[in-house]
Structure 1
Amino acid sequence: MNKKRWFALGIAAVLFAVSIGFQFMSSLFATDVEALFEMPQQQQYQQEVIEEGTGNTIAVVELDGVIQDINTSSLLNTGGYNHDRFLKKLENVAEDHTVNGIILRVNTPGGGVVESDEIHDKIVEIKEEYNKPVYISMGNTAASGGYYISAPADKIVAHPATLTGSIGVIMQSYNVAELADNLGIDMNTIKSGEFKDIMSSTREMTDEERDILQSMIDDMYDDFVQVIVDGREMSESKVRELGDGRVYTGSQAAENGLVDALGSLEDTAAMMREDFEWPNAQLVEYKTGLDWNSLFGGAVKSMVGGEEANVMAIQELLEQSDGPRAMYLYSK
C-alpha cells in the first residue's frame, strides 16, 4: 500500500473518530446526566468525619443555594441546589440507623413556596416518625423560605451576622406596556376567560386582578405565619408583628425570639451533645456520593462564585415559567 493510500486511511480514521466524538457529546448534552451516572442507593451518600467521637453520631446536612425545583439534569445546568436530591438525602439520613441527631446547615435566601413546604414537612416527619432531633445552624443567609424550613426544628442557632427573617411572600412581574407602545409593538391575546392573562406584562393590571392576586398572597402568608406559630410556639400576633418582610441579623433574631441561640456549626453540635447527653458523639457531614453531576456542578459554582451563583439561580427561578410565581424569597 503506497503512502497516499495510508494517508487517506489516516484521514478517514480521524474523521470517523471526530464523528463519533460529536455524536457522543450531542447525546450527552441531551441526556439526563444524573440518570446516566446514577449510582446504586448504598453508594449515593457517604459520611465524612468532622469530629471524631464514640457512641452516638450527629449528621450535618447542608442546604446551600436557592430552594428551587428546576431541571438540573442537563450538562449545562448541574450547579447549585437540587431539590429532588436534597429531599432524598434527608430521607436517607432519617432512615440511617447509625445517625442519632441531625444538624441542618442552612445557607439560602429561600425560594419556591411548594419546595420550601416540602422540606418543612420532611423535617416534621423526621422528628415525629423517626424520633430524631433536628437542629438548625444558620450560615450567611437563612431568610424567607430558609426561615420557613427552620421553624419546626428543635433548636435554631444563628451566627450574629446571619441574615434571617424576611417572613412573607412575594410575586413579581414586569410591565413593558409603555415600552412596547413606544416601539410600535402590539400584543394580540385570545383568551377563554377574563383573568386568563392576569399579570400580563403588556398591559396595566386592573384593580380586580390585583385583589385576586393579593388574596392568594395573603393565604400563603397565613400559612407561613402558622408554620412559625406551630414551630416556635409563638403567638400569632407576635409573628405578624415580626413578619413584615424585613430581614434581621442573627443577634436581632435572638432578641426577638426567632432563633434560640447564637453560635457556629461547632457550637450547634456542642449544644446537641449537651442537650441529649451525648458528650462523645461523633460529628459527620452527610454528603452526596461523588458523581459526575456533583463534580461538574461544583466546578461551575467555583468558577462563577457563590454570590453570583445565587443571583443566577434566582434569575433562573424567575424564568422557569412564562408567568410569575409566588415565592418565599429574599433578594437584594
Structure 2
Amino acid sequence: MNAKRWIAIGIAAGLLAASVGFQTLFAVINSNFTEAFDSATGSTYMSEEVVEDGDMTNRIAVLKVEGTIQDTGEEASLLGSATYNHTAFLEQLEQAGMDDTVGGVIIEVNSPGGGVVESAEIHDKVVEVQEEYGKPVYVSMGNTAASGGYYLAASANKIVAHPATLTGSIGVIMSTLNYAELADKIGIKEEVIKSAEHKDIMSGAREMTDEERDILQSIIDDMYADFVQVIVDGRGMPEDQVRELGDGRVYSGKQAMENGLVDDLGDLEDTISMMKEEQGLENAEVFEYTGSGFGMGSFWATAAEGLFVSDSDLLGIKQLMGKSNSPEAMYLYTE
C-alpha cells in the first residue's frame, strides 16, 4: 500500500474520531447544562409574541397544532422546526394552564390527525386545563382538522370551523404493504425465527391469516370505541348518532356544524372574538408561543453547541438520525 493511501486512511480515521468525539462532547454538554440550569431555576422558558395588545393580567393564549400529530422523539431546540413537536406542544399547553395571567386557551388545528396515543395525550391535557386549572379551551379549525385533529378538539368548550374546513374522519386505520407476490417473482424469501405464532403479525412477506386479521380488528374496534366515547362525552351526543357520523368520512365545516360536530363557523380571528365576548375577556391581550418550549438548560446547551458546530451541521446530523416507522394504529385522515 503506497504512502498516499496510508495518508488518506489516516485522515479518514482522524475525521471519524473527531466526529465521534464532538458528538459525545455535545451530548455531555447538553446533559450537564440542562440538568444544572433547570435544577437551579426550576423553570421553563417559553418565548411569546403578542398578537393583540390588551390586558396583560388577563390574556388569551393561542397554541398551534400543525401537521401530523406524532411524537418523533425529537427534543425542542433553537433550530426550530416546521413540523409538529409533540413534547413542546404539551409543554406549551401545560404552561398556559399554569400561567395565572392566562384566562383562556385557543388551539388552532391544521392537522390530518396522527398517532392514537399522541391524540389522546392532547385530549387529556385539554381536559386537565379545563378541570384542574378552570380555563376555557376553544378550538379553531384551519384547512384540515380530521381524525386525531378532531379527537383532540372533541372536549373543547367550543369548536369553530371554517366553512371549507375538512374535518370528521372519525375512525382508526392500520395498514401495511404486502409484497409477497412481488418477492416470489424476483426470488426473494424472508426467513423468520419467532418465539410464538403471531410474533410476525402484519409481515409484508406473506398473506395475513384470518385469525391475525381478527386480532388486529379487535384492537381497532377498541380504539374506535374510545374515539366514539370521547365525542359522546365531549359533545354530549348519543352514541348511536356518533357511530352513524363516524364512518370514516370527512365533512366540510358547514356539514360538520349541521351534524353537531362543531359549534360555529369562522376563522381564528372570529374564534378570538367569541372567546373574548363569551368568557369575559373583552380587553385581553392575545399572544402565541413562538417556537418550541424548552428548558433554559437546553438554551445554554444549544448555545454551547454553537461554539463548536454550525446550525446547518446540527440539522444535518438530526436528519441522518431519522428512524423508520413500523405499522401502527392511527387516528389519521389519508387522501
Q: How does 1:1-332 map to 2 (within 5 A)?
A: 23=19, 27=23, 31=27, 42=43, 44-54=45-55, 56-73=58-75, 79-287=82-290, 288=292, 319-321=324-326, 324-332=327-335
8 A contact 1:180–1:202 mirrored in 2: yes
Matched length: 296
1:223–1:20 distance in 2 versus 1, CA, 3 Å = closer
1:28–1:147 distance in 2 versus 1, CA, 3 Å = farther
1:43–1:262 distance in 2 versus 1, CA, 3 Å = same
Counterpart in 1 of 2:315? none
Q: TM-score, normalised by structure 1?
A: 0.80
For residue 73 of structure 1, report the CA deviation from its aligned partner.
Answer: 4.4
8 A contact 2:75–2:87 mirrored in 1: no
Distance, in Å, in 2 between the alignment partners of 1:74 and 1:103 is: 22
For residue 47 of structure 1, report the CA deviation from its aligned partner.
Answer: 2.6
Name the Cα RMSD after superposition.
3.3
For residue 221 of structure 1, report the CA deviation from its aligned partner.
Answer: 0.3
For residue 24 of structure 1, report the CA deviation from its aligned partner.
Answer: 8.4
For residue 277 of structure 1, report the CA deviation from its aligned partner.
Answer: 2.4
Residue 277 of structure 1 aligns to a residue whose secondary structure is coil
Structure 2: segments with no counterpart, 5+ residues = 1-10, 304-310, 313-318
User: Which amino acid is 1:27 matched to?
Assistant: Q
Residue 47 of structure 2 aligns to a residue whose secondary structure is strand
8 A contact 2:61–2:286 mirrored in 1: yes
Distance, in Å, in 2 between the alignment partners of 1:32 and 1:139 is: 41
Deviates more, 1:281-290 or 1:48-57: 281-290
User: Which amino acid is 2:48 matched to?
Assistant: Q
Distance, in Å, in 1 between the alignment partners of 2:80 and 2:206 is: 33
Distance, in Å, in 1 between the alignment partners of 2:93 and 2:29 is: 22
Distance, in Å, in 2 between the alignment partners of 1:20 and 1:204 is: 44
Residue 184 of structure 2 aligns to a residue whose secondary structure is helix
8 A contact 1:33–1:74 mirrored in 2: no
Runs of 4+ deviating beyond 2 Å: 18-26, 28-44, 73-79, 286-293
Counterpart in 1 of 2:3? none
Residue 106 of structure 1 aligns to a residue whose secondary structure is strand
Q: TM-score, normalised by structure 2?
A: 0.79
Q: What is the aligned-residue identity percentage? A: 57
Distance, in Å, in 1 between the alignment partners of 2:179 and 2:80 is: 29
1:29–1:84 distance in 2 versus 1, CA, 3 Å = farther
Deviates more, 1:70-79 or 1:122-131: 70-79
Structure 1: segments with no counterpart, 5+ residues = 1-14, 294-298, 301-311
For residue 63 of structure 1, report the CA deviation from its aligned partner.
Answer: 1.2
1:61–1:28 distance in 2 versus 1, CA, 3 Å = farther
Distance, in Å, in 2 between the alignment partners of 1:44 and 1:277 is: 28
Distance, in Å, in 2 between the alignment partners of 1:169 and 1:137 is: 23
1:71–1:279 distance in 2 versus 1, CA, 3 Å = closer
1:154–1:26 distance in 2 versus 1, CA, 3 Å = same
User: Which amino acid is 1:272 matched to?
Assistant: M
User: Which amino acid is 2:89 matched to?
Assistant: F
